[in-house]
C-alpha cells in the first residue's frame, strides 16, 4: 500500500509539473525587439525590389537604430522603405505586443504608411490592431479637430505613442496611452495661447528624425517648455530646408531666405520683416555673428555686393 501511495504521489507531481510546463510555454512566446524584427512576415513588410523571403542577415543590413533594452528599433534603406518598431509588455493578458509603423513600396508607386499591432504565438503572427485601438476612428477625430493628417511616433522609452502631423511632425496635442491592455486617445493639456506668448523667454529650432514613415527631414520650433509653435505658412514651408533658416541669438526670431529676400520672422507675434532683397538673384545660408549685431548670407548668382548688413 505504501508503495502504491508513493507511485501515486510521484505521478501527481509529474502530471502537475508537465501541465505547468505546457502552460508556460504556450503563454510566454517572448523575444527581443531585434528577434521580432527578424521574424516579421516578409509578405507584409518586405516586397518590391527587396528579397521575397529575406533572412536575418538581409534584414540586419537595414537596422539603423536598435535599442534592444527598451524594445525599440528602426530599419530603413534611407529611401522609401522604413520600419519603426516598439515592444509593449501586456502584463494583464501575458503577451508581447509589437507595434510596427512602416512605409514600403510597390511596383510603379508608393504605399501609404502602415500602422499595425501584432502578437506572436506558437510560431504564428496575429494582427491585433483592431483589438487594441480603432486607428481609423482616431485619425478621423484628430484630423477633424486639428485640421492635420495625423501620424504616430513610437516611444523609445515609455508606452505613450505621440500623435503628430505627418509631414511636419508637429505635435498635435494627442497621444495614444496604454491603459489596461488597450490604447486610448488622450488629449494633452492645453498649449499656451497666443496671449501667453510674452511669457516665453526663448524658443528652439528642433531637427526632426528622418526615420518616421512618410515624413521628410524637417525642423520644428518649440517653446522652452517643449510645446510646438504654430508658424506662418511661408516659414512652415521652408522648415525642411536647413540651408534657408537659422534662429536668432536671442532665440526669439527666425532669419530665413525666401526667394530673393532675407526675412526676419518674430516667433512671438508672427510679424515678418524684409531685411534684404535682391531683384535678380536668390539667397541662402543666412548666418548670425556671435554678438547678434550682424548677419551674412549667400547670393546664389554671384554679384559684387556687400552681404554684411547692420541691424
> What's the pLDDT tens digit per position in 225-235?
677 777 777 77
Number of DSSP helices (H) and strands (E) in the chain, helices first: 7, 21
| Beta-sheet strand order (sheet of 309-310) | 283-288, 294-299, 309-310
Is 84:60 a contact under the CB 8 Å cutoff?
Answer: no
> What's the pLDDT tens digit per position in 263-283?
888 887 778 888 887 766 677
Percent of the chain at pLDDT above 70?
70
> What's the pLDDT tens digit per position in 52-95?
567 888 889 889 999 999 899 999 876 667 889 999 988 888 89
Is 155:162 a contact under the CB 8 Å cutoff?
Answer: yes
pTM over 0.85: no
Mean pLDDT of the chain: 74
Amino acid at each position: 500500500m505504501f508503495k502504491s501511495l508513493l507511485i501515486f504521489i510521484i505521478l501527481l507531481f509529474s502530471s502537475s509539473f508537465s501541465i505547468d510546463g505546457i502552460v508556460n510555454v504556450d503563454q510566454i512566446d517572448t523575444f527581443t525587439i531585434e528577434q521580432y524584427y527578424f521574424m516579421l512576415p516578409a509578405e507584409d513588410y518586405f516586397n518590391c525590389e527587396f528579397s521575397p523571403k529575406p533572412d536575418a542577415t538581409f534584414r540586419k543590413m537595414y537596422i539603423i537604430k536598435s535599442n534592444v533594452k527598451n524594445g525599440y528599433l528602426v530599419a530603413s534603406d534611407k529611401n522609401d522603405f522604413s520600419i519603426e518598431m516598439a515592444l509593449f509588455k501586456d502584463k494583464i493578458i501575458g503577451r508581447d505586443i509589437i507595434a510596427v509603423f512602416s512605409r514600403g513600396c510597390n511596383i510603379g508607386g508608393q504605399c501609404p504608411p502602415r500602422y499595425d499591432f501584432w502578437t506572436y504565438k506558437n510560431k504564428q503572427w496575429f494582427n491585433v490592431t483592431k483589438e487594441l485601438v480603432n486607428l481609423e476612428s482616431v485619425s478621423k477625430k484628430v484630423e477633424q479637430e486639428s485640421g492635420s493628417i495625423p501620424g504616430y511616433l513610437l516611444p523609445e522609452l515609455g508606452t505613450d505613442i505621440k500623435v503628430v502631423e505627418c509631414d511636419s511632425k508637429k505635435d498635435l496635442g494627442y497621444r495614444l496611452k496604454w491603459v489596461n491592455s488597450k490604447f486610448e486617445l488622450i488629449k494633452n493639456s492645453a498649449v499656451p495661447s497666443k496671449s501667453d506668448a510674452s511669457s516665453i523667454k526663448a524658443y528652439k529650432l528642433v531637427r526632426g528624425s528622418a526615420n518616421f514613415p512618410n515624413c521628410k527631414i524637417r525642423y520644428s520650433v518649440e517653446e522652452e517648455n517643449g510645446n510646438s509653435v504654430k508658424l506662418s505658412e511661408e516659414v512652415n514651408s521652408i522648415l525642411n530646408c536647413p540651408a534657408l533658416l537659422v534662429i536668432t541669438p536671442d532665440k526669439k526670431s527666425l532669419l530665413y531666405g525666401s526667394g530673393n529676400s532675407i526675412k526676419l520672422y518674430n516667433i512671438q507675434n508672427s510679424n515678418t520683416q524684409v531685411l534684404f532683397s535682391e531683384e535678380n538673384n536668390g539667397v541662402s545660408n543666412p548666418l548670425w555673428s556671435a554678438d547678434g549685431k550682424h548677419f551674412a548670407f549667400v547670393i546664389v548668382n554671384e554679384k559684387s555686393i556687400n552681404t554684411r548688413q547692420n541691424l
